[in-house]
Structure 1
């Protein structure tokens, strides 16, 4: 794996991980995140939910029950609906992007979405808190950060 200072960036490697192909695709749809992953001057830890974790969600990452409550079944129809869906997807993706790397154990930081997260180590495994989400593996380490594959998703409500 490339060492910090390498010209290889997170944007170069995130798409190569089969276990996070859904999340990787989402990152390309969110300009603020894709630009961050391309930048060699912005260190980042990507907390990428596995495809399995995303498939097991009770709703799609771009859906919000509040939108359905306020607007009904057509909450995501038309241009306004597409804008709502994109905003919700952005919130989901940004909740999984930590603007720090390396990221020290038990160091509380805010995700790009503004949620406070930290990680702990228990029985040789990493757990992202709050929520006790198990980190399956640190999949990639490149010049501007790391990609951690998680077995769940951060709170993005």
Structure 2
């Protein structure tokens, strides 16, 4: 059973690769080649390919960290030493990085994900500019009335004395 769990968690890249291929209706290698030729043709495809590459890299780092930890654990007596705990922390950090990149790929593939719609649609309680019936709030300083400035009035009074 632990082998099944290990295989399923390690196959995050495979599952997301399958989802990418289904989403774009082409093999990941074909998609990467298409993006390399015309990166501006589909910004969505370009972003997915970029983040998929980051995900694959993170999985590779995780695989190496797990291998190093397993090798260290095989030589440990019943208590784990500090260097081996450091390897365990490295595995945890690698899992976090891989999972974070996986979340970004999933978000990129989900057209209805929060933040992907019109920003105004995300804030239903706020008025849109086009919906305003009156003028916007004044943001500049109000003009002064057409009278003599205070400093000129003072100088005039001082000159009369």
Same fold (TM over 0.5): no
TM-score normalised to structure 2 length: 0.26
TM-score normalised to structure 1 length: 0.26
Bigger fraction of residues in strand: 1
Greater length-normalized contact order (CA 8 Å, ≥ 6 residues apart) = 1
